[in-house]
């Protein structure tokens, strides 16, 4: 048990574009947006007074459980659902005031990828990618050239003549992404784009999205129910519950200080494996005199060997129960569960000491 280093894996140059917020411009503004569905059981407030701003070049995540309204919300960003009230402005255009033709033009700049990919099975990969170009009236020679570029960009060389049914889920989503990028959009909307994929494929698709965000400066808005997705690629996150945005901010801040219960639940998805609570309860009951402490290390400040210092300076036994480091787009985030044993004064001294360091300390009690 040597030093515990939690390295800041992620440099800020990897694009927290929104940090340069003085220069950056708002790309998407939602103002008091509301969507009411009429059902047999009366009106349902799917989206309730949501205000959001999303900046040029950022990856913005919206997380919530199913039924939270995130799917409706993202569909209002391209008017697949029209808001009951409020306004949605994308790239300077108030979408609900546009005429049919203007909206069709605007939609060519707001692409979308889907959980179930929604490819045309009757078309080959190439023809699927060419589809939005046909819609936009791009000439054939130009189309062929653009399709080649896109196939290369998403890493589908050699699969151009395959039909979607011959592809794996990850490859299908790559086609979906290529298709979405065909008309050089300003925004890419991701509707649970990785929810139908296995964890490994999910990671490769997420990496592709980050790459595209970096390479093309494309703004990405995604909805998901997996905190893992938010953690891995988003710069900022909004948490939705019952149609409302209950919490939002830079991903690392939300990880560090989740204020709502639902947000804490989501953060736990990433920091604590499910069995953690049980294991810790078990250990705590075996040694009732000991204290269990959760240390949270955040971003660039996670370097000091806090645990080693505690062992050197105090007469306590430190037992590491569980630790995990997660990387976010804004820097690393780690949590460590330790068990402290020793005289009460030594233990509280150790806790005080850790409190003065740049880590968050929480004494955990399980009844």
Partner 1 sequence: MSNLFPNVEWDVMLASTGQTLYMTAVAVIATFVIGLFLGLALFLTGKGNLWENRFFNVITAGIVNIFRSIPFIILIILLIPFTLFLVGSMLGANAALPALIIGAAPFYARMVEIALREVDKGVIEAAKSMGSSNAQIIFKVLIPESMPALVSGITVTSIALVGYTAMAGVVGAGGLGDRAFLDGFQRTQNDVTFVATVIILIIVFLIQFIGDTITRRLDKR
Q: Which residues bind partner 1 (CB under 8 A)?
A: 78, 80, 103-108, 110-112, 114, 116, 118-123, 131-132, 134-136, 163-165, 179, 183, 189
Q: How far is the CB of 187 from partner 1 (least distance, A)?
A: 11
Q: How far is the CB of 98 from partner 1 (least distance, A)?
A: 11
CB atoms within 10 A of CB 291: 20
> 85-90 and 331-341: which strand pairing?
unpaired
200 class by beta-carbon count within 10 Å (0-12 exposed, 13-18 middle, 19+ buried): exposed
By beta-carbon proximity to partner 1, the closer residue of 87 and 118 is 118
Q: How far is the CB of 275 from partner 1 (least distance, A)?
A: 37
DSSP 165: G
259: nearest Cα among 228, 233, 237, 279: 237
Backbone angles phi, psi at 68, to 5 degrees: -80, -15
Q: How far is the CB of 360 from partner 1 (least distance, A)?
A: 42
Burial 50-70 (b: 16+ CB within 10 A, else e): bebebbbbbbbbbbbeeebbb
Q: How far is the CB of 129 from partner 1 (least distance, A)?
A: 11
Q: How far is the CB of 9 from partner 1 (least distance, A)?
A: 35
Q: How far is the CB of 99 from partner 1 (least distance, A)?
A: 13
By beta-carbon proximity to partner 1, the closer residue of 192 and 241 is 192
Q: Which residues contact 312 (CB under 8 A, 6 or more apart)?
A: none
Here the tokens at position 88 are 């949605």
Here the tokens at position 359 are 């880590």
> Residue 30 pairs with which residues in a beta bridge?
52, 88
By beta-carbon proximity to partner 1, the closer residue of 92 and 199 is 92
Contact 209, 32 (CB under 8 A): no
By beta-carbon proximity to partner 1, the closer residue of 26 and 136 is 136
DSSP 315: S
Here the tokens at position 101 are 């033709």
Q: How far is the CB of 288 from partner 1 (least distance, A)?
A: 55
CB atoms within 10 A of CB 26: 14
Kindly state the helix (H) or strand (E) to which residue 324 belongs, with its residue range.
strand 317-328
Burial 175-193 (b: 16+ CB within 10 A, else e): bbbbbbbbbebbbbbbbbb
Q: How far is the CB of 19 from partner 1 (least distance, A)?
A: 30
By beta-carbon proximity to partner 1, the closer residue of 119 and 245 is 119
By beta-carbon proximity to partner 1, the closer residue of 45 and 118 is 118
By beta-carbon proximity to partner 1, the closer residue of 151 and 167 is 167
By beta-carbon proximity to partner 1, the closer residue of 120 and 320 is 120
By beta-carbon proximity to partner 1, the closer residue of 176 and 250 is 176
226: nearest Cα among 199, 253, 189: 199
By beta-carbon proximity to partner 1, the closer residue of 136 and 153 is 136
Q: How far is the CB of 358 from partner 1 (least distance, A)?
A: 45
78: nearest Cα among 187, 212, 181, 235: 187
């Amino acid at each position: 048990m040597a030093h515990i280093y939690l390295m800041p894996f992620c440099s800020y140059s990897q694009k927290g574009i929104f940090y340069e917020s003085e220069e950056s411009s708002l790309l998407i503004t939602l103002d008091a947006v509301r969507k009411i569905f009429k059902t047999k059981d009366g009106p349902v407030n799917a989206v309730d007074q949501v205000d959001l701003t999303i900046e040029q070049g950022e990856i913005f995540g919206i997380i919530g459980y199913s039924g939270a309204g995130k799917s409706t919300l993202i569909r209002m960003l391209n008017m697949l659902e029209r808001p009951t009230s409020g306004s949605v402005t994308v790239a300077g255009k108030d979408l609900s005031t546009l005429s049919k033709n203007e909206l069709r033009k605007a939609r060519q700049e707001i692409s979308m990828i889907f959980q179930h990919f929604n490819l045309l099975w009757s078309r080959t990969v190439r023809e699927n990618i060419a589809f939005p170009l046909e819609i936009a009236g791009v000439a054939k020679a130009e189309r062929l050239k653009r399709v080649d570029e896109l196939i290369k960009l998403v890493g589908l060389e050699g699969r151009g003549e395959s039909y979607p049914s011959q592809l794996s889920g990850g490859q299908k989503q790559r086609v979906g992404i290529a298709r979405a990028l065909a008309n050089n959009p300003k925004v890419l909307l991701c509707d649970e784009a990785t929810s139908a994929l296995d964890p490994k494929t999910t990671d490769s698709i997420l990496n592709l999205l980050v790459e595209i965000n970096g390479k093309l400066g494309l703004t990405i808005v995604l909805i998901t129910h997996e905190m893992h997705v938010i953690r891995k690629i988003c710069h900022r996150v909004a948490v939705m519950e019952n149609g409302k945005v209950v919490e939002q901010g830079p991903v690392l801040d939300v990880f560090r200080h989740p204020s709502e219960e639902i947000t804490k639940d989501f953060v736990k998805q990433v920091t604590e494996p499910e069995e953690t609570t049980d294991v810790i309860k078990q250990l705590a009951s075996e040694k009732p005199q000991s204290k269990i402490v959760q240390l949270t290390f955040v971003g660039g400040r996670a370097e000091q060997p806090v645990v080693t210092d505690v062992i050197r300076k105090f007469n306590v036994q430190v037992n590491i129960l569980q630790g995990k480091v997660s990387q976010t787009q804004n820097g690393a985030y780690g949590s460590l569960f330790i068990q402290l044993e020793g005289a009460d004064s030594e233990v509280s001294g150790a806790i005080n000491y850790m409190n003065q360091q740049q880590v968050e300390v929480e004494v955990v009690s399980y009844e």
